[in-house]
Amino acid sequence: MSDLDKKVQQATELLPGAGYPKQKSKYKSVAIKAGLVALAFFISAATFSARGAFRESQQVNTNVCSQVAELIPEKNGVVWKLSKVYFGTPRFKKRAVEWLGGAIRVPTETHDKMQPVGIDPRWETFGVLQDYLLQAFPKVHTALELTKVNTYGLLYEWKGSDASLKPLLLAAHQDVIPVENATLGQWQHEPFSGHFDGEYIWGRGSSDDKHGLIGIMSAVESLLELKFKPTRSVVLAFGIDEEIGGLNGARSLATVMLEKFGPKSFAMLIDEGVGYGPQYGQIFALPGIAEKGTLHIRIDLASPGGHSSVPPPHTSIGMLAKLLVEIEENPFEAHLTRGSPTYKTAQCLAEHGPEMLPALRKNIRLSQYSDEALREAEILLLQNPMFKTLVGTTQSINLIQGGIKTNALPEQAWAVVNHRISTESSLNETTSRQTDLLRPLASGFNLSYTAFGASLSEPDVPAYGSLNLSDAWGTGTEPAPVSPTDENAAPYDLLSGTIKAAYNSHRGIKGDNNVVVSPGIMPGNTDTRHYWKLTDHIFRYRHVRLGGCLPNNPHTVNEGILISMLVMEADNFVEIIRFFTALVLNADESELI
């Protein structure tokens, strides 16, 4: 027995929950649905290259999508081994369930067009969540310095002993999508119950993003209980309105962090994102190194009112409907572009997915040099709607309103179209394309046409009505900068090695290819859009198994997160805590980030 193992054995007796006998899980196996397997494939994207000196001793594959070895804490090895014992006890799992369930029971909903903090009373529920966090995580609130930003934004600083080291930044958001009253009868359990049925914790926020918020807080609380003292500072940033753009939360937090720490002051940032899951006979972890842009285009149409008994050929609502049909019938084209993030995804899966069809693998490999092979690969890949969605810019008509009475012609009608902008595109390309698309209809209906502040109508020509396109909330965002993964990308290597260590740690396995780490793309948007100035190394990742959350889309009824997975001998939420623990320990002893 090594000296390290002896220390761990001696210290184990001091752990909360130590001494509990191993128990057989009473929970049934959970099958991973085909749709979730597909999601694992199509939310990944990457830039891959040969690794540099940092990887010389760890390198597994020197070709496309090369891999580093699992990164196990060494200087902090005692704490890491103690945490593995601690997190494996039944008592800790029960504690983790209580931590997350308690946070879910606070309904921190955010709504479009909320008034500022201090004016809109709906913000006050975040004070209740703060009180809960104070009670649930006493050691965090004793050891870390807390700054409240714009009343409810939370910024914790765990000061390390070496101020020369760039801090690690961990982010999450406190708010959740509202629950529609009309859907209450469809919930298997009350949406803010935090109910644990032996397999799942149910409720809004369980998988977006209170599992991240509580996972981070649980890891820090546990590390404090294990007497860990950081060398590298760790900063926690928890926004309050990610679901509506982050203008009150993350933007304010970013301003405070820039003033306190300065630009490019953090070693790396981890926020919410895609986890890991099976594809083509291999488990892939998919940390997002890029994020799509976003734009909500509001279409306002006005025309003369009057009595409905004397209608015109087209009312405002009718003309708006025609415009919306035109948009849906003309989606943005999607193309597989050599060198793009989604192209690199395909390359990675071709290299590491043993069950990929030989013809697809061949075309992906040859496509690097052959335009014909690139087109063949594109045809095959774009047949999957999810992949096509991630390659191109998407559009979704989500809001519409018009009219005030059944016997009155509507004078106003409007709709909002959500766009998620491809990493190969831009805000300008998106607005220009949609402006040109609707121009013929505006002319045909004799509407004056203004788009994004520019008048496109002939001056002094009488018009029947007006059409105006604008940024609905003023929150349009360009696609995010791509975080580096090249030979100088020590933060990405550290993250990759940590993912492997966290994945292997409680499964009783060793090795580097049990999970393949592929840089991914985040199709949605996160609070990281406000943090670009803080670091070049931004990753969107939650160490949770794809298929461990129900349903596929957390923004709907029966949101939940799987706790027990007998089939993988894993506890899904506890695994998030394991990951953040490993990340803090590895970042703390790294000399390269």
Name every residue whose Cβ is closer than 8 Å to that of residue 158 and which is 6 or more positions away in sequence: 143, 144, 220, 230, 233, 234, 235, 236
Distance CA 574, CA 97 (A): 9
**How are strands ordered across the β-sheet holding 560-562?**
200-202, 560-562, 549-550
The whole-angstrom separation of Cα 378 and Cα 337 is 9
CA–CA distance from 170 to each of 155, 159, 342, 376 (Å)?
10, 14, 26, 41
Active-site residue 591, yes or no? no
Phi, psi dihedral angles at 11 (to 5 degrees):
-80, -20
Going by C-alpha positions, the residue among 281, 279, 226, 202 that lies closest to residue 84 is 226
Question: Computed over its alpha carbons, how large is the radius of gyration of the chain?
Answer: 26
CB distance 580 to 216 below 8 Å: yes
CA distance 191 to 105: 8
For 124, phi and psi rounded to 5 degrees?
A: -65, -20
Smallest Cα–Cα separation from 143: which of 120, 159, 125, 127? 159
Residue 555 labelled as part of a binding site: yes
Q: Is 591 annotated as a binding residue?
A: no
Kindly name the residue from 242, 351, 478, 575 that is annotated as catalytic.
242
**208 labeled binding residue:** yes
Structure tokens at 421: 């902008």
Which is the catalytic residue, given 70, 175, 376, 424? 175
Burial (0-12, 13-18, 19+ Cβ within 10 Å), 254: buried
Helices 77-87 and 3-12 pack at an angle, to 10 degrees, of 40
What is the spatial distance between Cα 82 and Cα 99, in angstroms, rounded to a whole number? Answer: 21
How is 423-440 classified by DSSP, letter by letter?
TT--HHHHHHHHHHHHHH
Structure tokens at 161: 């002993």
- Is 145 catalytic? The answer is no
Say if residue 459 is preceded by a cis peptide, omega within 30 of 0: no
C-alpha span between 36 and 552 (Å, rounded):
7
Q: For residues 89 and 104, what is the distance between their CA atoms, to the nearest angstrom?
A: 23
Residues at the annotated binding site?
173, 208, 243, 271, 555
Residues at the annotated binding site for Zn(2+)?
173, 208, 243, 271, 555
Catalytic residues: 175, 242
